[in-house]
Structure 1
């Protein structure tokens, strides 16, 4: 009965309520928080909504659970902005964990709607069908049922086909990417990466001592063919990392003509391609074929994660590869990823019965419904300060300052107001995109979208120039 009285984003209101409770108890140490049922009755929402809000806080390290006791707030040492040297990414992560911080920097597509509840319900049903028994066969690369479903999903023709043995599932995306770095022997090797690029990927490559050459996306969203041709002719390129569907954080597609030109060039040079498909399902309307459909599948690897489309209860990452089978198997065995076979089966069933495709259709619509008024307000209020890159999907908006403002100054000004942004230089290892910002689709309760954009505008206008 309560579900009918909840808004579409009830868990976000619960999350904000709990953040205030945690902040109020910050000086008292580890304080026990209200139970699921107590909060459900108090806030007039479902227990599953409370559970989801608690799980987000637990993932962020703000609360912890004790079996048969409940949830406790972790003691927080101080609520003032924390200085962490000159590392912008470290500053972002540290301050993102502070209670009461507004995260304009976040990137979480399923925050508007996830499949966590249906996934957990299906998992409970499967537990009744598959009583807990020792597995008959060890499956170090993931549950065979899920691997087969993914292989079928990525197969588009007799040539562009995949099989279960080509799919490898790991505990999370980072773990899978670390396996790829090892298998492909990328240490000290040269790879080309479209830019801007996800900072998690960039920092992982940097830590692995990979030589990264960034290829800036043009205003149209595509790569410059002449520059790519020159690099392929002069550099010993091990592989190129490109996006499938959406190029994030821009949220744009590579135009079909440019994509075809790039695919032909890579085929001519025999270049290995690593395709990032984490956001491929979030594109509103695909313009032509995906990049992978025009590439040689024997020189292609694809990686993705369920977390961006299903939710935090499905954190697994996966990779598809026809080659490197013995090395992939060896490294997955060495990693010994501990994955729930029942949860993997549940994810497979959600794909097989069409539930995920239905969910994606709704998710894309909801994201667009939140993007449209935000883009309108940005252009109306900050049209003299920012240029919006029109997104074609995803949960963020990429903007460019019209003046050469110091985005680190903007970052610090907003941080003092407990607002966190993601400056564009985070998405480059070579100092690109210094005049850019990535903004999430804002939902700020009482303050509202207009208030958040006003604060951003004030910070942009007051910031010093580079």
Structure 2
């Protein structure tokens, strides 16, 4: 391993070393990676440092773990058959990571303006301040300082207030959601979700054998109250999963009147609500309203992640809940998330100092400029082929075809030209949104965006049904 540069953390050097091992082992079959202890001995670092480097690679999909066996680098797909995968989502994921791809569907808002530099600078300062023995004290539900700051940030009144003991921080959003599915005992239960819905959430629910009922979001961003009331009356709904503010991937905002009506209806039925708060910080309206402001706080859980608005160096997911305290603590203990306490402290300082709010103002402006550029090109080149509702935040644009089109065929045509789009079918388990695409201009790389939009138009015309 090359000697780490002066300004590197040890885990970054281990991460680079593992990356080189993965590249050298490139194979069409999974390759077993060195164990934690083997690498710790080989590189003369701690086991926890190796584990953290592996966790970063696992999040990126470059390794996966098997209980009691170890870490493996997945098999590489043949580069000459990029669309050979049978699973559409897997094909999107794998090809989006191939060199030279134009990813016209990236949903990584913070990549435009990540907080990596101030976060890592603050982390270095904290490393000098805190003795090493204090850095290793186990806090299975997350660093107390971060939980305290989050509780304060989410508190808006004496009725809608949170405490540090209500906050649970995990390694990433997926891990936190898996814990919630277990704690809430959602297996075989009926859950209503707004649709379109994030594919990570849908896949997790489906894998856990949750009975998912999709409630389509109307064109103007509202929820159909009549349809929701009908579901609550005739189905044994255990939980409703709704967005806090921005409903992604459309980027719509619920109106205050719609929020109040939804909250009243759910309150009348005593329904539990799981609120998706992942994109609320990207709301450009300035209203600050959240669905939870009208919900019964005693029948509410909230989940989110820092990654969407801070960047890849802050991958942690978190949940707020006033209930199931012993069960949540038990599951977080069993998971034994290995979270850097200093990284969590650094995030807490950014949240508490106002530095994050300054960053968000810049990030929202940059995202709006990118979306405006994309929307303008779509209206200039494809006004006769696509319709869209201009989003009120986030990185993506949700577009629908004005004519019957096979969007999966559109996807594969573009893939052969090294362009990735996200077909709307990925955002539903029931086959909804088949005439839609999620687009963004964050990952087009060196390719001219106008040229790429032209190729999208060609693919749409060549993939019309009938």
Sort the TM-score into its range (normalised by shorter chain): 0.7 to 0.9
Task: State the Cα distance separating 1:77 from its structure 2 match.
Answer: 5.8
For 1:457 and 1:438, how far apart are their aligned partners in 2?
15
- The residue number in structure 2 matching 1:17 is none
Within a 5 Å distance, the mapping from 1:395-434 to structure 2 comes to: 395-434=395-434
TM value normalised by structure 1:
0.83
Alpha-carbon offset, residue 356 of structure 1: 0.5
Q: In the alignment, which residue of structure 2 is the partner of 1:337? A: 337
Change in 2 beyond 3 A, CA 1:455/1:136 = closer
Structure 1's 465 and 366: CA in aligned 2 closer, same or farther, altered over 3 A?
A: same
Q: Unaligned regions of 5+ residues in structure 1, if any?
A: 1-21, 28-54, 64-73
Give, in angstroms, the shift of residue 83 of structure 1.
4.0
Matched with 2:195 is 195
| 1:132-165 deviation line (CA, Å, top 9, x unaligned) | 1155853110000000000000000000000000
Cα 1:403–1:56 change in 2 (3 A) is farther
Which residue is equivalent to 1:284? 284
Pairing 1:29-428 to 2, within 5 Å after superposition: 60=60, 78-133=78-133, 137-287=137-287, 289-428=289-428
1:458 paired to 2:454? no
* Kept after mapping to 2: 8 A contact 1:425/1:432: yes
> Quick one: distance in 2 between partners of 1:383 and 1:417?
23
Q: Separation in 1 of the partners of 2:95 and 2:463?
A: 20
Structure 2 CA distance for aligned equivalents of residues 281 and 232 of structure 1:
30
| Worse-matched range after superposition: 93-102 or 441-450 | 441-450
Residue 347 of structure 1 and its aligned partner are, at CA, apart by 0.3
Q: Which has the higher contact order (CA 8 A, sep 6+)?
A: 2
Distance in 2, Cα, partners of 1:167 & 1:422: 33
SS in 1 for 2:311: coil
In 2, Cα distance between the equivalents of 1:154 and 1:57?
Answer: 31
Q: Deviations over 1:99-150 (max 9, x none)?
A: 2111112110011101011100000000000021155853110000000000
Relative distance call for 1:75 and 1:191 in structure 2 (3 A) is: closer
Q: Which moved more, 1:115-124 or 1:87-96?
A: 87-96
Greater alpha carbon shift after TM alignment, 439-448 vs 320-329:
439-448
Asked if structure 2 preserves the Cα contact closer than 8 Å seen for 1:171 and 1:338, the reply is yes
Cα distance in 2 for partners of 1:455, 1:422 equals: 15
Q: CA separation in 2, counterparts of 1:287 and 1:403?
A: 36
Determine helix, strand or coil for the equivalent of 2:310.
Answer: coil
Q: How many equivalent residue pairs?
A: 408
Cα distance in 2 for residues equivalent to 1:56 and 1:389 = 36
Q: Is the 8 A contact 1:406 1:465 kept in 2?
A: yes
Verify the 8 A CA contact 1:396 1:438 in the aligned structure 2: yes
Cα pair distance change 1:136/1:172, threshold 3 Å? closer
Q: Cα distance 1:57–1:457, how it changes in 2: closer, same or farther (>3 A)?
A: farther
- Equivalent residues of 2:388, 2:400 under 8 A apart: yes
* Superposed displacement of residue 444, structure 1: 3.3
CA contact (8 A) 1:371 1:441 kept: yes
Distance 1:116 1:241 in 2: 31
Q: Is the 8 A contact 2:102 2:445 kept in 1?
A: no
1:372-412: CA deviations, max 9, x gaps?
12111101110000001210000000000011100011011
Does the 8 Å CA contact 1:424/1:436 hold for their aligned counterparts? yes
5+ residue gaps, structure 2, are 1-21, 28-54, 64-73
* Preserved CA contact (<8 Å) 1:246 1:280: yes
* TM-score, scaled to structure 2: 0.83
8 Å CA contact 1:62–1:97 kept in 2: the answer is no
Q: Deviations over 1:207-228 (max 9, x none)?
A: 0000000000011101100110
SS in 1 for 2:161: coil
Cα distance, 1:445–1:422 mapped onto 2, change above 3 Å: closer
Partner SS state of residue 309, structure 1: helix
Shift of 1:94: 2.0
Structure 1's 208 and 290: CA in aligned 2 closer, same or farther, altered over 3 A?
same
Aligned to 2:17: none
1:260 Cα deviation from its structure 2 partner: 1.2
Partner of 2:412: helix, strand, or coil?
Answer: helix
Maintained 8 Å contact 1:387/1:402: yes
Report the CA distance between 1:287 and its aligned residue.
4.5
Residues 409 and 463 in structure 2, CA contact (< 8 A), matched pair in contact too: yes
Query: Residues 213, 381 of structure 1: CA spacing in aligned structure 2 closer, same or farther, 3 A cutoff?
Result: same
What residue in structure 2 maps to residue 7 of structure 1?
none
